[in-house]
Amino acid sequence: MTAAVAPVPKPPAEVARGSPLFRDPLEDAKLRVDRDAFLDQTFAALRARRARLGTRRIWRGPVGFWDLKPDYRPGDVFEL
């Protein structure tokens, strides 16, 4: 399988906050160039945040979707 590259420039502060664009790459991407280990450290923090929420990817055949907070109840407020 060949992946296409589509750059989405983001300043470091925005990357550190996280983005829906990172959901799959946190699981699937292999970082080739990561000066000063910035993305590695940022992705580790985002993975830890997801782990605290219990976030999981669910597959239905070839299609995956994210259950961001499996124990969500109406009215809950949470930050990804």
Q: What are the pLDDT digits (tens) for 55-68?
A: 999 999 999 888 98
Asked if residue 29 is part of any domain, the answer here is: yes
Asked if residue 7 is part of any domain, the answer here is: no
Asked if residue 31 is part of any domain, the answer here is: yes
Look at the chain and report how many structural domains it folds into. 1
Asked if residue 76 is part of any domain, the answer here is: no
Average pLDDT value over all residues in the chain: 86
Question: Which 3 state secondary structure label does DSSP give 65?
Answer: strand
Asked if residue 16 is part of any domain, the answer here is: yes
Query: What does the alpha-carbon distance between residue 61 and residue 59 come to, in Å, rounded to a whole number?
Result: 6
| Residue range 19-30, pLDDT digits in tens | 888 888 888 888
Domain that holds residue 21: 12-67
Query: What does the alpha-carbon distance between residue 73 and residue 21 come to, in Å, rounded to a whole number?
Result: 25
Asked if residue 6 is part of any domain, the answer here is: no
